Amino acid sequence: MSLNPNWLKTFMVLAQTGHFTQTANLRFMTQPGVSQHIAKLEAYLGVQLLHRDNKYITLTDAGKRLYLYAEKVFEAETEFLATISQDNPYAGECTIGCSGTLALIIYPHLIELQAQYPELIIRLEAAPNARINQAIIEDKLDFGIVTHKLPSGLIRYEPIFEVALQLILPSQFTDQAITIDKLNQLGFIDHPDGQYYLKQVVESNFLSNIDDEVKEQTLFNIRSIGYINQISQILLPVSKGIGFTVMPASILQTQPASISIYTPNLLYPVNESYFFASKINNRLAARHKMIYESVLSFLVSSLEENEFWG
C-alpha cells in the first residue's frame, strides 16, 4: 500500500497554512475530516507529524521530511501531466526487432538518429522472426521488421521491400556446376533462419521436378555441420571451405573484402519479402513513426544503390 495522495495533499495544505480551519476551507472539507487525514497518515507512518499548540501547528522533524517528499511527488505529477499529452517525435524510447543481417545494416543509421536527437532512446533487438513476432504480441517491442507472418491476427503486417536470397559457397566452387549432392557433401552452416532460407532456395533450384515426399526427405538429409547465431560471423567458416549457407544477399555488403566466397547465379532467383510488423491494437507514437519512416527511407536508398539487395 502506498501513501494516499488525498492525505498527502491535506497534510501539505495544513503545513502551509498552519490552521485546521483554513485547510478545511481550502480542501472543501470539514475540520474533523482534516484531522482524520492527518491521523491516518501518522498511523500509517507510525510517527508524529505535528506539534499542536492551541490553534497553531508546527511540523515535527518527521513532518518536515514528509513535506519535502510530498513536494517532490506533486512536482513530478505536475510535470507528468504537463507532458503526457505531448507526442514528441524526437524524444522518448523506441524498441525495435529485426534479423541480425538487417541489424548490421540499420544500426549505424539509428546511431546517427540518436546523435541528431539526443532525447531519443533506441533499443535494437536482433532476433529470429519467431521471437520478434512473439515479443510484439507481448508488448516487449514497439515494432519489428520480419519475413515470417503469423496467422494469429494479433499483428499488423505491411509489406515494405524484397531482398534476394543468396546461396553462399567457398571460393573453390567458383564456376563449378552445383548439385544437391555437392551441397550435401559440403554440409550446411546453419543460423537462426537458416532452415527456412535453405528450403526456399534448394526447393526452387534443385528439387523442382520431384514429388513433395522425396523433396522433404532430401531437405531433411542435407548435413548440418555447424550453427552460429552471430550473423556477422557466419561467412567465416564458408570462406575457410567449411560448408555452405543461405542468407539474404544484403549480408555481403556488411562483410570485409578479405572474405573469400562464391555466390553463384541461381537459375530461379528467390526473393524474401520483408514486412513492417506492429501489434494491431497498439497505436504507434510519433517517435515510433518517425524512426520507422527514417529507417525505411534509409533502406530504400540502400536498395537503389546496392546490387546485393536484389
How do residues 133-173 score in pLDDT, each as one tens digit?
A: 999 999 999 999 998 888 878 999 999 888 889 999 999 99
Whether residue 235 sits in one domain with residue 221: yes
How do residues 290-304 score in pLDDT, each as one tens digit?
A: 999 999 998 888 766
Whether residue 62 sits in one domain with residue 203: no
Whether residue 297 sits in one domain with residue 222: no
In this predicted structure, what is the pLDDT of residue 109? 94
Written in H, E and C, the secondary structure of 130-171 is HHHHHHHHCCCCCEEEECCCCCCCCEEEEEEEEEEEEEEEEH
> 3-class DSSP state for residue 56?
strand
206 to 37, 209, 210, 219: CA distances (angstroms): 80, 8, 9, 10
Whether residue 131 sits in one domain with residue 204: no
**What residues make up the domain containing 51?**
5-83
Count of the separate structural domains present in the chain:
3
Q: How far apart are CA 310 and CA 308, in angstroms?
A: 5
How do residues 2-42 score in pLDDT, each as one tens digit?
A: 788 899 899 988 888 888 888 888 888 899 998 999 999 99
Mark which of 48, 83, 118 sits at the end of a domain.
83
Whether residue 227 sits in one domain with residue 129: no
Q: How far apart are CA 159 and CA 162, in angstroms?
A: 9
User: For residue 72, which amino acid is it?
Assistant: K
Residue 51's CATH number: 1.10.10.10
**Residue 206 — very low, low, confident or very high, per pLDDT cuts 50/70/90?**
confident
Lowest mean pLDDT among 128-142, 213-227, 239-253: 213-227
Q: Is the pLDDT of residue 180 over 50?
A: yes
Whether residue 129 sits in one domain with residue 116: yes
In this predicted structure, what is the pLDDT of residue 306? 59
Under 8 Å CB-to-CB from 72, ≥6 apart: which residues? none
Whether residue 263 sits in one domain with residue 175: yes
> 3-class DSSP state for residue 249?
helix
Whether residue 278 sits in one domain with residue 150: yes
**Residue 74 — very low, low, confident or very high, per pLDDT cuts 50/70/90?**
confident
Whether residue 200 sits in one domain with residue 177: yes
Q: Is the pLDDT of residue 307 over 60?
A: no
How do residues 83-130 score in pLDDT, each as one tens digit?
A: 666 688 999 899 999 988 788 889 999 999 999 999 999 999 998 888
In this predicted structure, what is the pLDDT of residue 54? 66
Mark which of 83, 110, 126 sits at the end of a domain.
83
Whether residue 170 sits in one domain with residue 262: yes
In this predicted structure, what is the pLDDT of residue 215? 64
In this predicted structure, what is the pLDDT of residue 309? 47
Q: How far apart are CA 71 and CA 75, in angstroms?
A: 6
State the pTM of this model.
0.61
Identify the residue with better confidence: 215 or 287. 287
Residue 177's CATH number: 3.40.190.10
293 to 218, 243, 287, 303: CA distances (angstroms): 42, 38, 10, 15
Q: Give the largest Cα separation in the chain, rounded.
A: 103
User: For residue 11, which amino acid is it?
Assistant: F
User: For residue 285, which amino acid is it?
Assistant: A
139, 279 contact by CB (below 8 A):
yes
Q: What grid cell was written down for 21?
A: 480551519
Q: How far apart are CA 303 and CA 101, in angstroms?
A: 14
**Residue 233 — very low, low, confident or very high, per pLDDT cuts 50/70/90?**
confident
In this predicted structure, what is the pLDDT of residue 202? 87
Q: Which helix (H) or strand (E) holds 80?
A: helix 61-83
Q: What mean pLDDT value characterizes the chain?
A: 86
Whether residue 167 sits in one domain with residue 155: no
In this predicted structure, what is the pLDDT of residue 131? 92
Q: Is the pLDDT of residue 310 over 50?
A: no
**Burial grade of 298 (CB within 10 A; 0-12, 13-18, 19 or more):** middle
Q: What grid cell was written down for 167?
A: 546461396
Whether residue 256 sits in one domain with residue 182: yes
In this predicted structure, what is the pLDDT of residue 195? 87
In this predicted structure, what is the pLDDT of residue 22? 87
In this predicted structure, what is the pLDDT of residue 189? 94
